[in-house]
Amino acid sequence: MMHEFFSQLGITYGYYFGYGFLALLLVAGAICIIYAGTDIQKRILVALPVCVIVLTLLNPVYYKLAGLTADYTYARSYWNVPFFLILACMWAALVRKAGKSKGIGISVVMVFMILLWGYGLGSVNSEHNLFYVRDNIYRVPQNTVDIADMITNDCDGEPVVYAPADICRFMRTYDADIKLVYHDWWKELSIDYGTYSVDDEELIVNYQTVYDFINADEINYKAIMQLQKLTGWNYVVLKEDSGQSVMQTEYGLVRLGTVDGYNIYKNVY
Amino acid sequence: MLILKMTLLVLCSVLAAVPLGNMIFRLAGIKNESAASMYVAGIISSMAIYEVVYLFLVFRYESLSKTTFIWGAEMLLFIVAGIVTGIVYGKKNKSMHDRLLDYFADIRVHHVIAVGVCVAYIIFTLVYQREYTDDSLFVGMASTAYSTDTLIRFSPFTGKQIELSYVAKYILSGYHAYMASVSAIFGVQPVVMMHNVLPVIIIAMHYIVCYRLARVILKNKKSADYAIIFLTIIDLFSMYNKFELTTSAWLFTGPWYGKSIIGNVIIPVLWYYLIRIMDEDGNAKPAKRMWGLVAVVHIAAALISTYGSIASATVTLCITIYYMIKNRRLSYALGFILSSAPSIALMSFMLYMQHMGVKW
């Protein structure tokens, strides 16, 4: 248990402070405050955070209790202390104590250190595309909005949609009147798992099969149509290169249009 | 039209929250709080009132419109009471007008810069937003409640009908329904409100609370302004960071998520109120009624997320223990027990559900 506790403590520290620049700045700030701060600053900026850390993060009993409630409770225990505000207050207190010229010097060094922490030493989060302006006020991918609009404008009753994962993902955050056959994030299906008999053939329905029918490189048109009989989807969205697909020629679906390389079909039967 | 509705929503949040905050502060025995503090207290109180209404109705599968109506009526009552007491207090205490004039006369360059960087941060967050899959749950739940006029009856993912136990982890927190209710009142889709209006409100609340806490610690307006400028610099640079578990990263990634509100607003608010209650140099108020204010924060935390009720109780316990030892006052323990009772009750219920084998 203790090994697990210390291992989790290290992981959590890494998630919060990363390479430790801010932790270093906090320790340096705390030393300065102990040396030159007022009583209330010593109490709130140093003693109180230490007390909270000791009672929570460094406490194996707390770790055990936190684990009972949710797996992320302990990992978020760093949030119990507003570290960044404390650092900012330490900084402001030192600038005030040091006077104008020294204060500017301290500020320049601090900005440089924070820049290093945030931007330097390979910590830049390049794999996430952080800074881009969303196309619309809903902050939902534009192709999802266009497809949802096309379907709701066409549908008289209740639209049930079967679509690739990246289209499903935010469809219902934009328009919750649309029902989906499955959702990839929660791995949820609108029907129960099982083996169903459709047109005298057996169709295995579980999350993976329903996902693969429409998301695999080779779209399984037949299974998609079999699934229509089970789930009652009335719109299907397919990522296809050709304009005229099997869905129209063989299964008689009506193509509503194409959005961003996705063909949207309506089942008129 | 949508922009107009969103502006109206922000404006109404101020017009409703300030009198509500005033009323709550009066009930807690505090008289001279700033309008900004009242705003924060007002928003938090509106959440707490919603949670109480929600908990009574969710297990009966009541509709969203009924919940919105009951909550709206209660809010109206508190807001009117807040306005009346504000007017009465304003008449009795003529210096209030002078204080307002003093505030504007006292504005200095560093104050303008501090407000400026906060506004810049809000704009930055509004313009650049990450696509995050959590939206399909948290925004999805609000959108589903809004579209179906239910609290929790349909899955946010596929729209199929579900039992409450299916989302056991989330049923005690009415945050999604709160979002749906506010959206319904203003006729704005929850996705629009959460991505465009909520960042303005939450980030503003974050910096107001931090400023108030900095004022208590640094005992100086100028230094508090500096602290806010420095804090914004730290917040800005944490956007680049790959360590996603920082509160600052969440303030940018999704101010509309419950965890972000807990880390950036609720916990700093608890620090502020508890220090105000127990730290003798931190303008400590002897009023025992202030613990009631802490209880309101606890209920709001429970509305926001399950984690909120755990975190708020933990923070309150730690700070109380510290001041109990430091001030040698055992009476603080009673304050903790009374104020944290809502969080402890919800946590116990949660553990009971887990014990009964409800899928978590």
From the list B143, B240, B259, which residue is nearest A176 (CB)? B143
Position B108 pLDDT exceeds 90: no
Strand order in the sheet with A254-259: A179-180, A160-162, A235-239, A262-266, A254-259
Task: State the smallest CA–CA distance between residue B129 and chain A in angstroms.
Answer: 7
Same domain for A189 and A255? yes
For residues B222 and A39, what is the distance between their CA atoms, to the nearest angstrom? 19
Q: Within a domain: residue A128?
A: no
Same domain for A172 and A246? yes
Which DSSP helix (H) or strand (E) runs through B217?
A: helix B198-218
Task: State the smallest CA–CA distance between residue B153 and chain A in angstroms.
Answer: 13
Give residue B48's pLDDT: 96
Kindly report the number of other CB atoms within 10 A of residue B95's CB atom.
Answer: 10
Position B52 pLDDT exceeds 50: yes
CA distances from A156 to A151, A234, A238, B156 (A): 10, 11, 22, 22
Same domain for A101 and A188? no
Q: Within a domain: residue A230?
A: yes
Which CATH number goes with the domain that contains A191? 3.40.50
Position B193 confidence tier, pLDDT thresholds 50, 70, 90 = very high
Q: What are phi and psi of A161, to 5 degrees?
A: -115, 140
The pLDDT of A135-162, averaged and rounded, is: 92
Q: Please report residues of A whose CB lies closer than 8 A to that of B191.
A: 138-140, 173-174
Q: Mean pLDDT score of chain B, rounded to an integer?
A: 88
Q: A38-47, B132-141, B245-254: lowest mean pLDDT where? A: B245-254
Same domain for A146 and A257? yes
**Residue B358 and residue B165 in contact, taking contact as beta carbons nearer than 8 Å:** yes
Residues within 8 A of B (CB atoms), A 234-263 only: none
For the stretch B258-301, pLDDT in tens is: 999 999 999 999 999 999 988 866 555 556 788 999 999 999 99
Pairing assessment for the beta strands A160-162 and A179-180 based on DSSP bridges? parallel
Q: How many CB pairs under 8 A join A and B?
A: 254
Tokens of B110: 């560093």
Q: Indicate the SS3 state at residue B62.
A: coil
Contacts of A241 (CB under 8 A, 6+ apart): none
Q: Please report residues of B whose CB lies closer than 8 A to that of A75.
A: 245
Position B241 pLDDT exceeds 70: no
In A, minimum Cα distance to B139 occurs at A173
For the stretch B67-105, pLDDT in tens is: 999 999 999 999 999 899 888 877 666 555 676 777 777
Give residue A120's pLDDT: 46
Position A85 pLDDT exceeds 80: yes
Same domain for A152 and A256? yes
Burial A106-130 (b: 16+ CB within 10 A, else e): ebeebeebbeebbeeeebebeeeee
Give residue B289's pLDDT: 84
Same domain for A147 and A102? no
Same domain for A157 and A115? no
Give residue B286's pLDDT: 58
Domains in chain A, number:
2
Give residue A121's pLDDT: 41
Share of chain A above pLDDT 90, in %: 41
Task: State the smallest CA–CA distance between residue B288 and chain A in angstroms.
Answer: 21
Cβ separation B136–A169 shorter than 8 A: yes
Q: Within a domain: residue A63?
A: yes
Position A199 confidence tier, pLDDT thresholds 50, 70, 90 = confident
Position B129 pLDDT exceeds 80: no
Best of B241, B248, B359 to disrupt the A interface by mutation (most A CBs within 10 Å)? B241
Positive/negative CA dihedral, A46, A51, A56, A57: positive
Same domain for A109 and A150? no
Site of tokens 């109480």: B52
For residues A37 and B149, what is the distance between their CA atoms, to the nearest angstrom? 55
Kindly report the number of other CB atoms within 10 A of residue B147's CB atom.
Answer: 19
Give residue B283's pLDDT: 55
For the stretch A100-136, pLDDT in tens is: 777 777 777 777 766 665 554 434 444 555 555 667 8
Give residue A218's pLDDT: 86
For the stretch A214-246, pLDDT in tens is: 998 888 889 999 999 899 899 999 987 665 677
Burial B269-293 (b: 16+ CB within 10 A, else e): bbbbbbbbbbbeebebbeeeebbbb
Q: Within a domain: residue A53?
A: yes
For the stretch B20-31, pLDDT in tens is: 999 999 888 887
Position B218 pLDDT exceeds 70: yes
The pLDDT of A28-47, averaged and rounded, is: 94
Diameter over CA atoms, chain A: 86
Instruction: Write the Ramachandran bin of B151: left for phi over 0, alpha for psi from -120 to 50, otherwise beta.
Output: alpha
Please check whether residue A42 touches B, CB under 8 A: no
Same domain for A104 and A31? yes
From the list A73, A172, A179, which residue is nearest B310 (CB)? A73
Cβ separation B237–A173 shorter than 8 A: no
Residue A55 is part of which domain span?
2-119
DSSP A80: G
In A, minimum Cα distance to B162 occurs at A190
Q: Please report residues of A whose CB lies closer than 8 A to that of B234.
A: 22, 84, 87-88, 114
Same domain for A114 and A161? no
Same domain for A81 and A6? yes
For residues B295 and B283, what is the distance between their CA atoms, to the nearest angstrom? 20
Same domain for A172 and A98? no
Please check whether residue A10 touches B, CB under 8 A: no
> Exposed (0-12), middle (13-18) or buried (19+): which is A240, by Cβ within 10 Å?
middle
